[in-house]
Amino acid sequence: MVSYILRRLIYMICVLGVTSVVSFIIIQLPPGDYLTSYIVQLESSGTKVSEEQVASLKKRYGLDVPIYLQYFKWIWKMLHGDFGMSFAWNKPVSKLLAERLPLTIMISLFTLIFTYIVAIPIGIYSATHQYSAGDYIFTVFGFAGLAIPNFLLALILMFLFYKYFGISIGGLFSSEYAEAAWSIGKFIDMLKHLPAPIIVIGTAGTAGLIRVMRGCLLDELRKQYVITARAKGVAERKLLFKYPVRVAINPIISTIGWTLPQIVSGGTITAIVLSLPTVGPLLFQALLTQDMYLAGSSVMFLTFLTVIGTFISDLLLVWIDPRIRYEKGA
Amino acid sequence: MRRGEEISAEEKFYVASQWQLMWRKFVKHKLAIFGGTVLIIFYIIAIFCEFFSTQDIHKRNSRYAFCPPQKIHFFDRDGFHLRPFVYQVRRTLDPVTWKRIYTVDKTERYPIYFFIHGDKYRLWNLFSSDIHLFGVKKGTLFLFGTDNLGRDLFSRTLYAARISLSIGLVGVFLSFVLGCILGGISGYFGGAVDMTIQRIIEFLISIPTIPLWMALSAALPQEWSPIRIYFSIVIILSLVGWCGLARVVRGKLLELREEDFCMAAKIAGASDGKIIMRHLLPSFLSYLIVNLTLSIPWMILGETSLSFLGLGLRPPVVSWGVLLEQAQNFRTVVLHPWLLIPGIFVVITVLAFNFLGDGLRDAADPYK
């Protein structure tokens, strides 16, 4: 088991490394670098920039070395907490992200929990009541949930709430709490705003998971040990929850690996529509203004979120599934 | 006599080819047939969108900005008319708020004619014509309302179908090629190559797609031509899209390469490439088709999301996402809810593809 965890840990670190390379590429993508636009800006304001000044500026920003060295320099700075400056906000990127990452993690986490709480019971119901009216209703709901893009659902919800209840469901805090420090009042206010984004982000994932849970459980229910147990007179409820459900939940846990990227991905666009104070809108603004250090770091942290989440789900799987736990001991 | 018929039906089952069995099973899946029919209609409309539309999509009816959809009527004060018609819409300005108010004027009605001469167009840039399926001779016909510049949303939605629906096909084709090649190599050779490709796939799956797509498409230079942007977006979408397919191909290959007919081909001296292409791929083509059908809607949703944010396709190109971009601000949506109509088409298309894929999946394994 230890070797399994160790293997996953090393793998995770490798993935984090590759992620940083991708983020660095994103930062380098737009034509021209920050320095070029800076020099143009200086020249347009009437300042003559000599060759030596350009060279010294290049040296100062570390642009005089080959690209791979620039990458290592960037990593080195990052390990010391320096993610570069956001030129649009005129603030360090680390500070901007620190403000918004906790809320992003929180929303993703709540959505994940919501997804599971809704999907697992519905999946069990659909499987045990196959082809019943309820099963069909949930199937239709599942297909619809998969088909409606997040942003459209967010827009429709906002529209309906505004039209029929006259309230705006955007944002995460009411205006009086937006800038305030954390307090009980602010927390309660936030809880009131949470359901809309969670439902919007969670719908697609929930719909997918219901299908998976239903399919897995149906496969399990057809197996012979279920028939044997039933023949021996085990109570239906006990039989269901003690054996097939436990087995069918395993693939669900291991799908965190793709549920979480889906949630973070959907969360990004939902947050832009609902104007939530998370990383999503920050990334969007950064991309529109070509604020590349901020954009690259945002993508990196969002990916970190999913990679670390997947690692945790692997650990969960070890805890839940004894087959993995004892695999190496034998 | 009845017994004889039964036997012949049973015999038919045994002598039927794999594809015949699949077709029979597929036809039984009502939802899949429904989805398939809807898609065929949509694609026909998309191919001939110039003919089905009622107006030139760039024509600005400046006096009718944000005009709500006009309803088609069959009844008026005089009773029933076989020829459908619309009432005239009049615009007035609210004297206080300067808001545009559209009122239906029931005194003036414009009948709708079929195969009518209207705005000129060039079908596929080849044939000049001005015949539209339907339209009005006098007055206006805005079935889905108009946008901020007074352009007809109905015609724009039809034109957008061409871009949105084709991007799914082109993107899936690209993913298909990538997925087959990489998945094929991975499954057939195994070992270190397999390891590397599997790790790459795992990595790509763990990246949240929308942030990555946003970053990549935002980097596309503004001055690029619409065609170049279109293909760049397709490539960006396929960058992640091939992973699922590669996994299916690999898994099936691992299963099939142990089969006797594969060994026989090898002993007969067939090359690796030939064994993959001639013997392995055809034997799980059905699984590939299912997977492809299910990944098209995914591509369409990706393009729509990107264009909605203004990072994907850009005007003057119209796709459903580009049209929805106008609805980004929800106050606009509250005032002009018809701007969401293109979204309905996205949802219907994705649903139809999912139904079709579901039916194909059941049919893919006819011996079960």
User: Which structural domains are found in chain B, ordered by start?
Assistant: 61-150 (no CATH), 156-363 (1.10.3720.10)
Tell which residue, A125, A93, A110, A116, has the closest CA to residue A282.
A93
pLDDT tens, N- to C-terminus, chain B (368 residues): 455 455 566 666 666 666 777 777 777 777 788 888 998 999 988 888 888 887 777 777 777 777 778 777 777 777 777 777 777 777 777 777 777 777 777 777 777 777 777 777 777 777 777 777 777 777 777 778 777 777 888 888 888 888 888 888 888 888 888 888 888 788 777 778 888 888 888 888 778 888 888 888 887 777 788 888 888 888 888 887 788 788 877 877 777 777 787 788 888 888 877 877 777 766 677 777 777 887 888 888 888 888 888 887 877 888 888 888 888 777 777 778 888 888 889 989 988 888 888 778 777 665 54
CB atoms within 10 A of CB A181: 6
CB atoms within 10 A of CB B110: 18
Tallying the residues shown for chain A, one arrives at 330
Tallying the residues shown for chain B, one arrives at 368
pLDDT at A330: 36
The tally of CA atoms less than 13 A away on the side-chain side of residue B159 is 22
pLDDT at A62: 65
pLDDT at B180: 82
Which residues on B lie below 8 Å from A152 (Cβ)?
324, 340, 343, 346-347
Nearest Cβ partner for B305 among A15, A151, A303: A151
Q: Model pTM?
A: 0.80
pLDDT at B16: 65
Contact B206 A287 (CB under 8 A): no
Disruptive mutation site among B38, B198, B206, B329 for chain A (greatest number of A CBs within 10 Å): B206
Instruction: Show the 3-state SS of chain B.
Output: CHHHHHHHHHHHHHHCCHHHHHHHHHHHCHHHHHHHHHHHHHHHHHHCHHHHCCCCCCCCCHHHCCCCCCCCEEEECCEEEEEEEEEEEEEEECCCCCCEEEEEEEEEEEEEEEEEEEEEEEECCCEEEEEEEEEECCCCCCCCCECCCCCEHHHHHHHHHHHHHHHHHHHHHHHHHHHHHHHHHHHHHCHHHHHHHHHHHHHHHHCCHHHHHHHHHHCCCCCCCHHHHHHHHHHHHHHHHHHHHHHHHHHHHHHHCCCHHHHHHHHCCCCHHHHHHHHHHHHCHHHHHHHHHHHHHHHHHHHHHHHHHCCCCCCCCCCHHHHHHHHCCHHHHHHCHHHHHHHHHHHHHHHHHHHHHHHHHHHHCCCC
pLDDT at A52: 76
Residues in Cβ contact with B81 at an 8 Å cutoff, skipping those fewer than 6 apart = B74, B75, B111
Is the predicted pLDDT of residue A319 greater than 50, yes or no? yes
Is the predicted pLDDT of residue A156 greater than 70, yes or no? yes
The CATH number given to A100-320 is 1.10.3720.10
Nearest Cβ partner for A257 among B206, B297, B327: B206
Please, what is the average pLDDT of chain A? 80
Q: Cα(A72)–Cα(A66) distance, rounded to whole angstroms?
A: 10
Which residues on A lie below 8 Å from B218 (Cβ)?
287-288, 290, 295
pLDDT at B235: 86
Q: 3-state DSSP call for residue A199? A: helix
Q: Cα(B345)–Cα(B318) distance, rounded to whole angstroms?
A: 14
Residues in Cβ contact with A93 at an 8 Å cutoff, skipping those fewer than 6 apart = A83, A84, A85, A86, A293, A294, A297
Which residues on B lie below 8 Å from A258 (Cβ)?
205
Contact B206 A15 (CB under 8 A): yes
pLDDT: is A121 or A313 the higher one? A121
Contact A257 B355 (CB under 8 A): no
Contact A269 B346 (CB under 8 A): no
Sheet containing B79-93, strands listed edge to edge, beginning at the edge strand earlier in sequence: B73-76, B79-93, B100-123, B127-136
Chain A stretch 78-137, residues whose beta carbon is closer than 8 A to a beta carbon of chain B: none
The tally of CA atoms less than 13 A away on the side-chain side of residue B243 is 17
Contact B354 A143 (CB under 8 A): yes
Q: Which residue of A has its CA nearest to B324?
A: A152
Tell me A181's DSSP state: P
Q: Cα(A29)–Cα(A12) distance, rounded to whole angstroms?
A: 25
pLDDT: is A34 or A230 the higher one? A230
| pLDDT tens digits for range A77-134 | 878 877 777 777 777 888 888 888 888 888 888 898 898 888 889 988 888 887 788 8
Nearest Cβ partner for A268 among B210, B330, B354: B210
Q: How far is B304 from chain A (nearest CA, A)?
A: 8
Residue B215 · residue A26 · CB < 8 Å? yes
pLDDT at B258: 75
- Lowest mean pLDDT: which of A48-52, A204-208, B152-156? A48-52
Q: Which residue of B has its CA nearest to A306?
A: B206
pLDDT at B206: 79
Q: Which residue of B has its CA nearest to A256?
A: B206
Which residues on A lie below 8 Å from B310 (Cβ)?
288
Contact A265 B208 (CB under 8 A): yes
| pLDDT tens digits for range A238-269 | 888 888 888 888 777 777 777 888 888 888 88
Residue B89 · residue B69 · CB < 8 Å? no
Which residues on A lie below 8 Å from B297 (Cβ)?
147
What are the structural domain ranges in chain A? 2-92, 100-320
pLDDT at B10: 62
Confidence of residue A329 (pLDDT cuts 50, 70, 90): very low
**Owner of token pair 């965190």:** A256
Disruptive mutation site among B31, B195, B198, B210 for chain A (greatest number of A CBs within 10 Å): B210
Q: How far is B333 from chain A (nearest CA, A)?
A: 7
Q: Cα(B321)–Cα(B328) distance, rounded to whole angstroms?
A: 10
Tell which residue, B336, B340, B344, has the closest CA to residue B68.
B336
Tell which residue, A36, A150, A298, has the closest CA to residue B301.
A150
pLDDT at B11: 66
Q: Cα(A108)–Cα(A262) distance, rounded to whole angstroms?
A: 10
Nearest Cβ partner for A151 among B205, B308, B334: B308
Q: Which residue of A has its CA nearest to B329?
A: A273
